[in-house]
Structure 1
Amino acid sequence: MIISIMAGGPECFWPDLTWYKEKTDLWVGVDRGVWSLLEKGIEPKYGFGDFDSVSEDEYEKIEQVLEEINLYSSEKDETDLEIAFNWAMGQKPSEIHILGATGGRMDHFLGNIQLLQKESVLPHHGDMDIYIVDRQNIITVKTAGSYKVTALKDKKYLSLLPVNAEVTGITLSGFKYPLDDASLEMGSTLCISNELISESGNVSFEKGILMVIRSSD
């Protein structure tokens, strides 16, 4: 099952929704993200949030369409997106795609990125693909292991950023800038803007956590 979550970020940062309309099994809207989906002709099944960013008329229409609305106070210990993401994790899908989570406020953006790095989420990166996607980027997190990487026509760059203090045993094959048993410390830009030189390549590392970003100009 593929779950797509639409948060309330600016539409100018969204990816093309065509693929998501075709492949998504379950749509979830977060706060104004619910209304944004309805405006695009997509009816989410579930909604989460305090809905303080929609008008009364918009909320009435949301109530008429959604199967379930999970309404929360604006004063709480998690963001609306974190609540929706935790729920989606509990459904045990094969993939979660988070849209509308970039752009706008930097504190929200960084907080959204860190959802992928939570201690409770890290063990699931092996059996579940979790992505934050916008017009230029696909962001995910990987724990130690070996991964095949396939070329993407519209995302030629691949960057690796350490999530913890140091990632060790990094080997890259099939890339413009290969590595063999390298280490990557927090703050290093060694693995920014690499490129595949064939249809696929391989990324492996022995210890640590990496953020993987596929991007375009």
Structure 2
Amino acid sequence: MGDTFQVLVGGPEADWPAQLKQGQLSGRWAAADCGALRLLALGYQPELVVGDFDSMSKAEQADVFQQVAHVVTKTDQNQTDTELLLTTLEQMYDIEQIDIYGATGGRIDQIFSNIWIFTNPKFQSLLSKVRVVDRYNEITFYEAGQHTINKSPQMKYLGFMPLTPVTHLTLIDEKYPLQQWSGNPYSWSSNEFVGDTNHFSFESGIVAVIQSRDAEI
């Protein structure tokens, strides 16, 4: 069995799942920058934190550095905190699964960055091991092949978003099937599961699968 981590990056708390905000998620944690402070305040103990730490005061930095076993300082702006965190986790551990929280909400440029980084070849080995989670969405990533997807509790909708050009995308047994579609990045949204398990396939490219539910008003 490999290592499973939950990681917190810089998105707003309003988009966190309730279990995260209430300190109810168990498991191993890592964080980007001030995400470490947020985790510690909720009673989580991160093993790793990365960043340039310019969003923290000197006292906050000292507190984090004292409590977290592994601290990696970002020395340039050629990669985002999320990229550095994922790269460091892959270098330090035998990764089996990473759930990313705080990757959505707030600035749209950061949302797109946190999704499209998985088209970078350097993250190819992590692609199928990552899940992006927020209050209303769960996003997983797939390379070409035949795939089975399981419905997450409380989620209603199912979206398929090619992040690169894809060929022969086929939604086999979803509510709204699709046959052998090929094209550039696009979003096939507002589909739904039929039952608790469905299937899809494609022959080249990268596809993000988004399970979601309506926001509470």
Q: Please give the TM-score of this superposition, normalised by the length of structure 2.
A: 0.87
Quote the offset at 1:88 in angstroms.
1.6
- Are 2:153 and 1:153 aligned? yes
Distance 1:63 1:122, change over 3 A: closer
Quote the offset at 1:10 in angstroms.
0.8
8 Å CA contact 1:162–1:184 kept in 2: the answer is: no
What is the match of residue 178 of structure 2?
Answer: 179
The answer to which of 192-201 and 10-19 deviates more is: 10-19
Quote the offset at 1:123 in angstroms.
4.6
What is the match of residue 203 of structure 1?
Answer: 200
Structure 1 segments unaligned to the other structure (5+ residues): none
What is the match of residue 169 of structure 1?
Answer: 168
What is the match of residue 190 of structure 2?
Answer: 193
The one-letter code sitting in structure 2 at the alignment partner of 1:163 is L
Distance (whole Å) between structure 1 residues aligned to residue 120 and residue 186 of structure 2:
22
What is the match of residue 25 of structure 2?
Answer: 21
Distance (whole Å) between structure 1 residues aligned to residue 108 and residue 161 of structure 2:
18
Question: Aligned residues, how many?
Answer: 209
Q: Please give the TM-score of this superposition, normalised by the length of structure 1.
A: 0.87
8 Å CA contact 2:23–2:44 kept in 1: the answer is: no
Listed one character per residue, the Cα deviations across residues 15-62 of structure 1 (whole Å, up to 9, x for unaligned) are 23279823x3x3111101000101110010111111111222222221
8 Å CA contact 1:88–1:96 kept in 2: the answer is: no
What is the match of residue 86 of structure 1?
Answer: 87
3-state secondary structure, aligned to 2:90: helix
What is the match of residue 106 of structure 1?
Answer: 108
Percent identical: 33
Distance 1:133 1:117, change over 3 A: same
Structure 1's consecutive aligned runs of 4 or more residues displaced over 3 angstroms after TM superposition are: none
8 Å CA contact 1:116–1:140 kept in 2: the answer is: no
The one-letter code sitting in structure 2 at the alignment partner of 1:21 is L
What is the match of residue 13 of structure 2?
Answer: 11
3-state secondary structure, aligned to 2:176: coil
The one-letter code sitting in structure 1 at the alignment partner of 2:97 is E
